[in-house]
Amino acid sequence: MQAPKSNKVGKKLMLAFGRWWSITALIVSLAMLATAWSFQLFGHLAPCHLCLKQRDIYWMASAVALVASVWALFTGAKGPPRAFSFVLFAIFLTGAALAFFHAGVEVKWWRGPQSCTASGGEVSLDQMAAFLAGAVTKAPMCDVAQWRKFGLSMAGYNAIISTILACLSLLASLRLRPGRRRML
């Protein structure tokens, strides 16, 4: 008995998804970093301590996805090992938890860390002169959302996106190889 054609197409799509997921994860991670930097540079929204930690997640995911993609390219394999996708799952799940925690801090569900101030960044001569003249500067706090759209802050959107990326990474790590049957 032959499997329905739609079932074969679905399996091929899942196999292709698993094979290309590392490249997709790399592109999405870099796009998320570019978005964060755009808000900072063009929107003049300075990141807080937790915002910077959320960026670290995307840097880690980019590194893993890049290694997986390069490995698949240079070994001639039909895709990176599924372990890379599982590592991406763990990274994105950690990012989702961190972003959810940050969103909760912003809406005062719980307290944020004491170190929740921005780390030093680039300081211009004008800013330094103003500071030396007695100007008061205030670092961004983690419990204040600087931007909201439809009631969600950037941390809230990041929690949603990271959760989706974690689910897709888990799905990619479970890809089936053609010709193998799963036992129940």
Q: How do residues 72-116 score in pLDDT, each as one tens digit? A: 888 877 767 788 889 999 999 999 999 999 898 888 888 777 777
Confirm if 50 and 112 have CB atoms less than 8 A apart: yes
What pLDDT, on the 0 to 100 scale, is given for residue 184?
44
3-state SS, 102-139, equals: HHHHHCCCCCCCCCCCCCCCCCCHHHHHHHHCCCCCCC
The model's confidence at residue 3, banded by pLDDT at 50, 70 and 90, is low
3-state SS, the chain, equals: CCCCHHHHHHHHHHHHHHHHHHHHHHHHHHHHHHHHHHHHHCCCCCCCHHHHHHHHHHHHHHHHHHHHHHHHHHHCCCCCCHHHHHHHHHHHHHHHHHHHHHHHHHCCCCCCCCCCCCCCCCCCHHHHHHHHCCCCCCCCCCCCCCCEECCEEHHHHHHHHHHHHHHHHHHHHCCCCCCCCCCC
pLDDT at 118 over 60: no
Distance CA(124)–CA(131), nearest Å, equals 11
The model's confidence at residue 119, banded by pLDDT at 50, 70 and 90, is very low
Write out pLDDT tens, residues 15-63: 666 678 888 899 999 999 999 999 888 888 888 888 888 999 999 999 9
- Higher-pLDDT residue of 119 and 143 is 143
- Higher-pLDDT residue of 69 and 163 is 163
What pLDDT, on the 0 to 100 scale, is given for residue 18?
64
The identity of residue 65, as a single letter, is A
pLDDT at 1 over 50: no
Distance CA(30)–CA(157), nearest Å, equals 16
Q: Read off the pLDDT of each residue in 152-170 and give the average, rounded to a whole number.
A: 92
